Structure 1
């Protein structure tokens, strides 16, 4: 088992390896496997990428983000400009059905709402606005309301997990109650946990995923 110091060094190295992140502006502390990232970055994209980099490190149980987005002068936008750009970005994304997503912008924070049939639509909406100039953060409140009834969800999710060679699918238990999927078991990293959760969301008819997975 890695010590907190080793985990800290691993995250710092992973941040340094990530080309979209200015690692020199980010500090890392680790206590009992919980990582806290602090500092200032120029965009929400960098903050998001830094979080994903920390999650990729095996042994990290959770990540707390204490990073502020401080936009440089040329990248500052008022809320009206951000709202227009965000609406256009969503409208131009072929993965998002028309009139599915509503958005509100306040002090650079974009809040998304609406109903979608699939989780990938909700993720596509967030990805569309994440990289826009002026955005400080994204709150995704889009609900999943599939039109089809969930059938054979447990079998489909388990098959998807077994197709992923880097996962120990036997260590993961999938429970299904109507449209709610509950995941239990152990995974090696937060990145692996995200992969399992995404596999569950990818099954047709899933409305909610309860993630009880533990990072071993």
Structure 2
């Protein structure tokens, strides 16, 4: 019996691995031949070399899209092409600050940027949860970034009642064709959103989270 269960789990892991590899090859930002994929009990481990932090994030998100994936460990490391012009830490910092300043969603936010050997730290405050991820995405697109530590804190500028937040999330889910509102239980207490329920794929779970993030 144990051998049968073990064999079934191994078969599922092999299916997940095949699907992850195919997903990596489908994404034209990623050189899938440089990334190794291993799967154990639904946990995907990515190793290898990527040309930028943006590609490292793209490979992470690609793996999460596969049904059956429980966790993704992205151990790939950034190695810039020899032809790339690598910016100094001060240049990376200045470039990120300009990106944040020029973007409408982050231009008025209180965000401090520090860079040490290509490792970026974002600290300060934003007024919405989705802006925290937007700031990280803007930073990840800068050449020379090898890692990002996002320490931004969400401090809403408006005092919105929990019920209003919950209603906005329910309405957003209802407008989509991806997730059914009856499949997700939404609770909000002091601005903290908790989503529970059962969805068939990780991708749909991410979609539900996205609706909450953007509220």
Does the TM-score normalized on the shorter chain lie above 0.5? yes
Q: Distance in 2 between matches of 1:148 and 1:89?
A: 26
Number of corresponding residues: 203
Deviations 1:85-113 (A, max 9, x none): 11111111122133521111011011111
For the pair shown, the structure with the greater C-alpha radius of gyration is 2
1:47 Cα deviation from its structure 2 partner: 0.5
Q: Secondary structure at the match of 2:67?
A: coil
RMSD: 1.7
Q: Distance in 1 between matches of 2:128 and 2:193?
A: 14
Q: Distance in 2 between matches of 1:185 and 1:154?
A: 15
Structure 1 alignment gaps of length 5 or more: 204-216
Listed as ranges, the matches of 1:140-179 within 5 Å are: 140-151=150-161, 152-179=164-191
Listed as ranges, the matches of 1:66-145 within 5 Å are: 66-73=75-82, 74-98=84-108, 100-145=110-155
Q: Secondary structure at the match of 1:132?
A: coil
1:177 Cα deviation from its structure 2 partner: 0.9
Which of 24, 27, 30 aligns to 2:36? It is 27
Does residue 182 (structure 1) correspond to residue 191 (structure 2)? The answer is no
Q: In terms of mean alpha carbon deviation, does 98-107 or 30-39 score higher? A: 98-107
1:116 Cα deviation from its structure 2 partner: 1.0
Q: Distance in 2 between matches of 1:185 and 1:195?
A: 13
Q: Secondary structure at the match of 2:198?
A: strand
The structure in which a higher percent of residues are helix is 2
Structure 2 alignment gaps of length 5 or more: 1-7
